[in-house]
Amino acid sequence: MPKRFVVTASEFSDLPPFSAGFELAEALTAAAQQLHDTVTPNSAMRTAARLAVHLLPGAEHAGVSVLDGDSHPRTVAWTDEIVRAAEAPGADGDRQQPYWDGLWHRPVVRLDDSETEEGGGGLADLGLRSALALRLRTDRRRLTVLTAYARRPRAFDEAATRIGRLFTAHVSLALDSTTVREQLTEAMRTRDLIGQATGILMERMNMDAAEAFDSLVRASQRENVKLRDLARRIVDASNRPA
């Protein structure tokens, strides 16, 4: 079961009230509805990247990347190819966004000018001057990041940062919801697949259900194959024409 992210008012205690009133409320409500309608984590992240460009003042491009420990980040959603270029490893193999490291400890990192600030060289080469990086979710070794980019320096002010934090709260909830849904769906598929394989063994080997399941488990351990994968092999072999 994935870690749950519960958002409370205290998480935004340092943010003053918005002056945008109903316009912002309506925009966030519409965004939340679109995120709620997604059915997988990948679709939620693609929707988040697209919405970020419309919601965050100053944003021209956006992407979502996943960092697994010391490995290279994986860009899993992007609005256009310049995002993939910005988030690809550099020529020396290092990632081009060292400011992402700060998201392990705080929810947002802002790069005001890639031409003058340390760590922004890779962006400057692409003509991207500003970045607003927002943490979506984190555990011990995995960090999921939403980053908005702009071609002008200092494109993201305090208002953009505040809106970004509210928006990512909705995205985090959508990711949790779709992850749980995906896991439950996979669990049901696995259960059905193992049930089919057990039934095939019962018929072929003249076993009862318990014996057939035990035989399946022993074969899985003996061959060092996941029970689900072994069950799929048995079902697929049974469905092949004679």
| Domains and their CATH numbers in the chain | 19-178 (3.30.450.40), 184-239 (1.10.10.10)
pLDDT higher than 60, residue 205? yes
pLDDT higher than 50, residue 162? yes
More confidently predicted of 161 and 91: 161
Give per-residue pLDDT as tens, 102-112: 888 899 999 99
Give per-residue pLDDT as tens, 57-73: 999 999 999 988 666 78
pLDDT higher than 90, residue 167? yes
State residue 9's pLDDT score: 33
Do 137 and 97 contact (CB within 8 A), yes or no? no
Instruction: Determine the average pLDDT of the residues in 185-209.
Output: 89
pLDDT higher than 70, residue 91? no
CA distance 231 to 196: 8
Residues in contact with 57: Cβ distance below 8 Å, sequence separation at least 6, in sequence order: 156, 157, 159, 160, 163
226 pLDDT band, cuts 50/70/90, is: confident
State residue 121's pLDDT score: 63
